[in-house]
Amino acid sequence: MAEIKDNTQVWLDGEAKSITFIVTKDCQLACKYCYLVGKNSKERMSFEVAKAAVDYILGNPELFPDQSVVWDFIGGEPFMEINLIDRLCDYIKTEMYRLNHRWFNSYRFSFSTNGINYDSERVQRFIEKNHTHLSIGITIDGTRRKHDLNRIYKGSGLGSYDDVVRNIPLWLKQFPNGGTKVTISSPDIPYIKESVLHLFSLGIHEVNINVVFEDVWKEGDDELFEDQLMQLADAIIDGELYKENVCSFFREDLGKPLDISLENNNWCGAGKMLSIDAEGNFYPCTRFAAYSLRSKKPIIIGNIHDGINQNLLRPFLTLDRLTQSPTKCLSCEVASGCAWCQGENYDAAVTPTIYQRSTAICLMHKARVRANNYYWNKLYCKIELDGARPAKPSCIACSL
């Protein structure tokens, strides 16, 4: 079991089970890069459906043997349904206690929010009540120019930057180690450097950033991407921002040949997660729900009435790198760290299969690897020159 120390949850045993409630398909925004193509204001989860899902999950512990759990709430924008979420979280806590469930005191309530109504009275009361078991990330894309390029209000088309950034100080006061998620698509590549630095200046010390998996990339985007990342690397290292800040674009384990004996795993948790929609249908991941798919039918693996159909779930449990990657990916010299989304694989495949890996980000990954190598070579050289530690071999950046 996980333990409680000073009212802080400590995870000890394995990965937590991720259970996602799609509480609404509505959102105040109409982000241009959003993969949710079927957002609407009609499909909202009722408490009765949510309660039935919780009863099934907690009532069948043999199907969910994980030592910990993340109760995740998404939309659309989840905090638009804060009344439902508050009531449901109270029920979850009560039931885990009543059943003496292994997840009691070994759980998180998780949210990724656009931040617009973060400071509302209802949301703040919910945070105060559940703070020690909460994980909340506010999505802000960077500078006003970068953010408002994509994250616009539906209807008016106006940018949302001002309404989000005003809530960042409150969020960081409540969650000092909070990280944000930044999404990169083709039009906003030129603003990567300035946006990451801006987020650091706001006091956000962890910037999780990734390119979209969809096939939106244009000729030359990879070169622009690499240039922006190298400029960002210079700014972080020369300004010694790496001492207090992290940008997920730069990782030491990125861009190496595969050791398939160690890395033959699936990139994401599709099939090991569970998602529930407003109708009470179960999905292996939210990316397999209808509102996430452009051209394929949803993959439903059960519902609150009949439970999970293990036969429908089984194909997801056999997914690994070998079963879905083309030869060029397996033999690629910089394959490690190259990500994929299982739902996008399915949506982009020429047939209704989950075993065809999308390679739309191939050139973007290679550009990232080149910039990543530049970053670490330069950083090791700087550290060596500062006398803090030896540099790694072949420190090519020392002569730059």
Number of Cα atoms under 13 Å in the Cβ half of residue 186: 11
- Whether residue 218 sits in one domain with residue 143: no
Identify whether 26 is part of a domain: yes
For the stretch 2-19, pLDDT in tens is 444 443 445 444 579 999
Q: Which amino acid is at 13?
A: D
Identify whether 278 is part of a domain: yes
Is pLDDT of 216 > 60? yes
Is pLDDT of 247 > 60? yes
Res. 384 pLDDT band, cuts 50 70 90: confident
Query: In the chain, where do the E strands start and end?
Result: 3-5, 8-10, 17-22, 69-74, 107-113, 134-138, 179-184, 206-211, 246-247, 274-276, 281-283, 302-303, 307-308
| Higher per-residue confidence, 7 vs 40 | 40
- Whether residue 374 sits in one domain with residue 276: no
8 Å CB contact between 197 and 340: no
pLDDT of residue 200: 98
Q: How far apart are CA 99 and CA 370, in angstroms?
A: 52
Provide the domain limits for residue 251: 197-204+211-266+320-387
Identify whether 98 is part of a domain: yes
Task: State the average pLDDT over residues 366-391.
Answer: 86
- When divided into structural domains, the chain yields a total of 2
Mean pLDDT is lowest, of 4-13, 166-175, 220-229, for 4-13
- Whether residue 242 sits in one domain with residue 261: yes
- Whether residue 100 sits in one domain with residue 219: no
Number of Cα atoms under 13 Å in the Cβ half of residue 175: 24
Cis status of the peptide bond prior to 142, with omega within 30 of 0:
no
Mean pLDDT is lowest, of 48-57, 194-203, 294-303, 377-386, for 377-386
Identify whether 302 is part of a domain: yes
pLDDT of residue 389: 55
The torsion of the CA quartet 285, 287, 292, 295, rounded to 10 degrees, works out to: -120
Is pLDDT of 173 > 70? yes
Residue for token pair 């400590």: 10
pLDDT of residue 388: 57
Task: State the average pLDDT over residues 237-261.
Answer: 95
- Whether residue 143 sits in one domain with residue 26: yes
- Whether residue 233 sits in one domain with residue 304: no
Query: In 309-374, where do the E strands start and end?
Result: none
Helices 82-98, 121-130: inter-axial angle, 10-degree rounding: 20
Res. 390 pLDDT band, cuts 50 70 90: very low
CA distances from 286 to 91, 159, 270, 289, 369 (A): 23, 26, 9, 5, 29
pLDDT of residue 14: 58
Identify whether 24 is part of a domain: yes
Identify whether 397 is part of a domain: no
- Whether residue 286 sits in one domain with residue 298: yes
Average pLDDT, the chain: 92
- Whether residue 162 sits in one domain with residue 261: no
Rounded percentage of the chain residues whose pLDDT exceeds 90 = 88
Identify whether 375 is part of a domain: yes
CATH at 294: 3.20.20.70
User: Quick one: which of 44, 119, 33, 126 has its CA closest to 77?
Assistant: 44
Token pair belonging to 71 = 């109760």
Token pair belonging to 252 = 């030491």
Is pLDDT of 142 > 90? yes
Task: State the average pLDDT over residues 187-200.
Answer: 97
Question: Concatenated DSSP letters for 45-100?
Answer: --HHHHHHHHHHHHH-GGG---S-EEEEEESS-GGGGHHHHHHHHHHHHHHHHHTT
**Dihedrals phi, psi of 39, to nearest 5 degrees:** -65, 145
Res. 394 pLDDT band, cuts 50 70 90: very low
Task: State the average pLDDT over residues 69-76.
Answer: 96
pLDDT of residue 392: 46
What is the pTM assigned to this prediction?
0.91
- Whether residue 153 sits in one domain with residue 17: yes
Is pLDDT of 111 > 60? yes
pLDDT of residue 385: 82
Task: State the average pLDDT over residues 293-318.
Answer: 96
User: Quick one: which of 227, 233, 236, 228 has its CA closest to 205?
Assistant: 236
Mean pLDDT is lowest, of 131-140, 259-268, 328-337, 389-398, for 389-398
- Whether residue 331 sits in one domain with residue 300: no
pLDDT of residue 6: 40
Identify whether 42 is part of a domain: yes
Task: State the average pLDDT over residues 246-266.
Answer: 93
Sorted by sequence, the CB contacts under 8 Å of residue 72 that are 6+ apart come out as: 18, 19, 20, 21, 110, 111
Rounded percentage of the chain residues whose pLDDT exceeds 70 = 93
Residue after which a domain boundary falls, among 318, 338, 358 = 318
Task: State the average pLDDT over residues 112-121.
Answer: 97
pLDDT of residue 24: 97
Task: State the average pLDDT over residues 273-289.
Answer: 97
100, exposed or middle or buried, with CB in 10 Å at 0-12, 13-18, 19+? exposed
